[in-house]
Amino acid sequence: MSHKRTLLQYGQDTIEATLPERTRLISQTTTPVPPLADVAQAVKDALDNPIAHEPLSKLVGPSSKVTIAFDDPIGYLPEEASPPFREVAIKTVLSELDRLGVEPANVRLVCAVGLHRKFTTSELATMVGEHLAARYGPSKLFNHDAEDRENLVFLGETKRSQEVEVNRLVMESDQVIYISQPWSHFNGGWKSVVVGLSSFRSIRHHHRPVAKASGKSSLDPKRSAFPKLLNEMGAVIERELAKKGRRVLLIEGTMNNASPQQVVQVVAGHPPETHERGLEILQQQHVVQVKGLADVVLYGLGNHRDPYSKMSIINPIQVRNLAMSYSYGLFQNVPLVRKDGILIMCHPCLPQFHPVHTPSYIEVYERLLPYERDPVALWELYSEEFAHRPEYVHRYRYGFGFHGAHPFILFGQGLYGFNHASRVLLAGARDREAARRLGFEPYDSVEDAIAEAEATLGKDCTITYPDMKQNFICDVEE
C-alpha cells in the first residue's frame, strides 16, 4: 500500500504524518477578492448610502448621544492586514460625527463581549489603536457588562418565548452604530447586538445544548435555526426602538481569504439587509464545494484557529470546541463525515488553563468532568449555578475572566458532532486522561488513529483530510 507524508497543524506546532495514498485532500482554492483601495472612504460612502436606512447625516446632531459598539477579538480573524478594520471604521465614524457637530463627550465606544471575557485597555488598543484607547479609555472606551443589572434593560420576549435583554445604551442612545467584521456566516447581522450586547438571560436561549436538535450547522444560514432566532430577537429590539423613532445602524466589513486578510467590502444600514450583502462575499471567499461524504475525516487542530484563546492560552475544553465546532462544524448542507463515521483530531491537548481568563473552566474540568460528561446534563445541573456564583460574577465583571457559564456553552456545542460520528479519536494526545474527559479516544499518533479507524470500518474506508491552515467551510454534496 502506498502512502504520502503530510504536515498537520498540531497545537502550537505541526506534526508530520503518513497518510494512505487514497486520502482525499481538501484545501481552500478560491482566489482572494481584490482589497479595497481606500477602506476609510468605503466606510464614509457606506454611511452616506446605507441599505434600508437613513444616512448618518440625518440621524445625529450636536446634542446626540452616540454609542459605537464593535466586535470583540473573539471573532476568528487569523491575521488581519494593518491597520485593523475596526480602527479605521471607528476613526472614520468619529470624524463624521465631529463633522456633524456631535460632542466628543457624548460618544461611547463599547466592545461587545457578550459572555466572553473582558479585555484590558491595552488589549482593546490592538483593535482601536493606541491613540483612541488613550483618548477614550477607560470612561468612554469600555467592555459591555452582561452582569451589570443597573445597565441592562429587558425588552420582552419573541413569539418563541426567547427573552431579549440588552445593554441600556442600546435603548438610551440617540444612535447606536455597530461595527462588525464577521469571518463567517455565524457572525454579523443582528447577532452583533442580541449576543454581543446582551446578557446570560438572553444568550442561554440559543447557546445551550439541545438534545433533539437537528445538528444543522450555524454556518448554513439557509438551513440553520440559529440566524432565524437571532433575527426574531433583533425584531424585538427594532420594535422597541421604533417607539423612539430610532434604528440600529450596522457597518459590516467583509474580508477576503488572503494572508493577511484584507477588507474587500464595506456596507452599512439595517442589520438584516446589510448582513445579506456581507454573506455574498463570505460565501464566495470562505466556502469550498465538496462532493461526497467520507468514512473518516482527519483534522489538524492549530491553536491559531481557536478564537476563545486569543491573547491567552488554549485549554482542553476549548480544544474540544476547536475540534467539534471550528473543524467538524465548518460545513454547509451535511457534515463532511458520514453518519456513524469516525473523526480523527490531531492535538496534544494539554491540561493547562489561564488562571485569570478561565477560572470557571478550571472547576468544570477538575470537579465535574471526571464524573459527568453529558453536555445537556451539565447544562441543566450547573449552568445557572455557575452563571450566578458570586466569585465568577466578580471575576467576569472585574477580573477579565470568561462568564461563569461559558465553559458549559463550549462543551455543549460538541454535542452534535459526537451524536453524528460513531467515535472521535484524538491523535497525538499527550495526556490521555485530558482526552478522555473531553469525550475523545486518545492515540499516540495519527498513524495509530488511522489504523484503528481502518480496523473498525475496513481497510478500504474513505479518508478525507481538510488542510485547514486557516478556517474554511465545506459545502458538502452527498
64 and 105 in contact (C-beta within 8 Å)? no
What is the Cβ-side half-sphere exposure of residue 128, based on CA atoms within 13 angstroms? 32
Classify the C-alpha dihedral 371-375-380-382 as positive or negative: positive
H or E element in which residue 396 lies: helix 390-398
Burial class (CB in 10 A: 0-12, 13-18, 19+), 435: buried
Mean pLDDT across the chain: 95
Phi then psi dihedrals of residue 151, to 5 deg: -115, 25
Among 411, 421, 355, smallest CA distance to 379 is for: 411
DSSP 442: E
Residue 269 backbone zone (phi > 0: left; psi -120 to 50: alpha; other: beta): left
**pLDDT > 70 in the chain, percent:** 99
Q: Could you tell me if residue 34 is inside a domain?
A: no
DSSP 35: P
Is the previous residue joined to 104 through a cis bond, with omega within 30 degrees of 0? no
Q: Does the structure show a pLDDT above 60 at 407?
A: yes
Q: Does the structure show a pLDDT above 90 at 325?
A: yes
Question: Residue 131 belongs to a domain with what CATH number?
Answer: 3.40.50.11440
- Note whether 313 and 263 are same-domain residues: no
pLDDT digits (tens, 9 = 90+) for 417-455: 999 999 999 999 999 999 999 999 999 999 999 999 999
The pLDDT confidence band at residue 2, using thresholds 50, 70 and 90, is low
Alpha carbons 104 and 95: distance in angstroms, whole number? 10
133 and 180 in contact (C-beta within 8 Å)? no
pLDDT digits (tens, 9 = 90+) for 95-126: 999 999 999 999 999 999 999 999 999 999 99
Classify the C-alpha dihedral 231-200-308-327 as positive or negative: negative
Alpha carbons 212 and 440: distance in angstroms, whole number? 22
DSSP 32: P
Last residue within a domain, chosen from 286, 302, 329: 286
- The pLDDT assigned to 185 comes to 87
- The pLDDT assigned to 1 comes to 46
Strands (E), 21-144: 24-26, 66-71, 107-112, 141-143
- Note whether 217 and 321 are same-domain residues: no
- Note whether 157 and 90 are same-domain residues: yes
Alpha carbons 237 and 271: distance in angstroms, whole number? 12
Question: Residue 313 belongs to a domain with what CATH number?
Answer: 3.90.226.30
- Note whether 56 and 82 are same-domain residues: yes
Cα Rg of the chain, angstroms: 22
pLDDT digits (tens, 9 = 90+) for 140-167: 999 999 999 999 999 999 999 999 999 9
- Note whether 23 and 74 are same-domain residues: no
Average of per-residue pLDDT across 392-406: 98
pLDDT digits (tens, 9 = 90+) for 236-269: 999 999 999 999 999 999 999 998 999 999 999 9
Write out the residue range of the structural domain in which residue 275 sits: 39-286
325 and 413 in contact (C-beta within 8 Å)? yes
Alpha carbons 289 and 295: distance in angstroms, whole number? 18
Tally of domains within the chain: 2
- The pLDDT assigned to 76 comes to 73
Among 336, 319, 284, smallest CA distance to 467 is for: 336
